[in-house]
Amino acid sequence: MTCSEEILRNAVKAKFGRAVTMGRTAILTRNHNDRAACHYCGPCERGCSTNSYFASPFTTIADAAKTGRLTLITDAVAARLTMKDGKAAGVQYIDRTTRQAREAKAKIMILCASTLESTRLLLNSGAANSSGVLGKYLMDHIYGGGAAGDMPMVETRPWAGMPRRPNGIYVPRFTNVKAKMTDGFIRGYGYQGGGSTSFDFGAPGFGANYKDAVRQGRTSLSLGLWGECLARKENSVEIDRNRVDAWGIPVLKVSADWSDNEKKLWQHGREQSAQMLEAAGAKNVRLTGEHSVPGFCIHETGTARMGNDPKTSVVNKYCQAHDLENVFVTDGACWVSSGCQNPTLTMMALTVRACDYIVREYSRKLA
Ligand code: SF4
């Protein structure tokens, strides 16, 4: 943590009894499987040359390649499942370079194309929808607001740039953990944020005075909230019969909006973030941002929901389609609630559980 983050952590704990911690990520802190521990160089968004953060090309796909039994088909745009005798027989795809339609046949198909693309594949196949809920209960996180303030009590010189680390701070959800409803809303939100020092190019003056003022820098502290979206049937996707993508595959039409619950928790979270910054002694605390529109957070989940009852869900607890036992959907499409946390680690855990089931139990049936 930076100095201002430590101040925030101690003040928030003392005044509200809430946690401020580092975010959780799939990044190595120790060398593991020929991958090096993170060395805190900073620019993760440019790619990690030491393979310290999780990414499939140098973890799962690399492991699969080592078996010698992996065929990786690139430039393939999956269009739909092909069917035979009531089971899925393969995946039809368009070769992106030749635009020819091709088919990959398989005994088991695992759709992990991202939430909406997996559902789109199923809808375009006319499959796995005896329940009628395929495409329904779409969710995303409401986000895009919080508070920011200045921390002049923190020494800003010599300026050393942003913290060199792959993550920021996190404030776990505290509303409705024990209570059922706070201020008219259920569930809650978590915060991501950070405190860092930057040059203050907006400093007054010019010439030597301006340069000195810029070098003083400014330490600011901010929190942004990510809120839970309730699963509602009316938030849904369907195939648009009048539009196709560049490869002639029908696209999705999306209908989604926030309910009052999301709007209320967002407003509540914004105000709480300002109060926490004030408790840390921040100056010039201001509310920031406007809430996003659904889809903007790119945390979409739902639309092929999981459940025990085939009448009300699309897949079972192993992400296996009730209607097509050799098809699995292992991304965010199977979710029935969105939580407020970033979804990827949970998607990965569900995928591991589904793959474990396929390897240990289901594939034996096919042998
Ligand atoms: S800071 Fe980011 S890019 Fe650098 S080693 Fe760590 S994970 Fe990789």
Does an H or E element contain 352, and which? helix 344-357
Handedness of CA 117, 124, 98, 70 (dihedral sign): positive
pLDDT at 364: 81
Burial of 123 (0-12, 13-18, 19+ CB in 10 A): buried
Q: Whose CA is closest to atom 5 on ligand 1?
A: 38
Helices in 53-137 by DSSP H: which ranges?
60-66, 115-125
Residue 219, pLDDT score: 87
Q: What separation in Å is there between the alpha carbon of 48 and the centre of ligand 1?
A: 5
Tell me which residue of 111, 323, 123, 78 sits closest to 237, measured CA to CA.
123
CB 250 within 8 A of CB 243: yes
Ligand 1 residue neighbourhood (C-beta within 6 Å): 27, 38-42, 44, 48, 50, 52-53, 166
SS3 61: helix
Average pLDDT per consecutive 10 residues, the chain (367 residues; last block may be shorter): 95 98 94 94 90 92 95 96 94 96 96 97 97 98 96 74 84 95 96 88 88 84 97 98 96 98 97 98 95 96 98 98 96 97 95 95 80
What's the half-sphere exposure (Cβ side, CA atoms, 13 Å) at 246? 6
Of ligand 1's atoms, which has the minimum distance to the CA of residue 40?
1
**44, 46, 59, best to mutate for ligand 1 pocket (most atoms within 8 Å of CB):** 44
Structure confidence at residue 164 (pLDDT): 84
Per-residue three-class SS string for 133-168: CCCCCCECCEEEEEEEEECCCCCCCCCCCCCCCCCC
What's the 282 CA to ligand 1 centre distance in angstroms?
A: 30
Tokens representing 210 are 């301006």
Nearest to 149 by CA among 104, 213, 195: 195
Give one DSSP letter per residue of 156-205, joined into a string.
--S---S--SS--EEE---TTSSSS-BTTB-S-EEEEEEEEEE--TT-S-
Mutate to test the pocket of ligand 1, among 35, 52, 59, 164 (most ligand atoms within 8 A of CB): 52
Distance in angstroms (rounded) separating the CA atoms of residues 344 and 332: 8
Give 351 Cα–ligand 1 centroid separation in angstroms.
Answer: 25
pTM listed for this prediction: 0.92
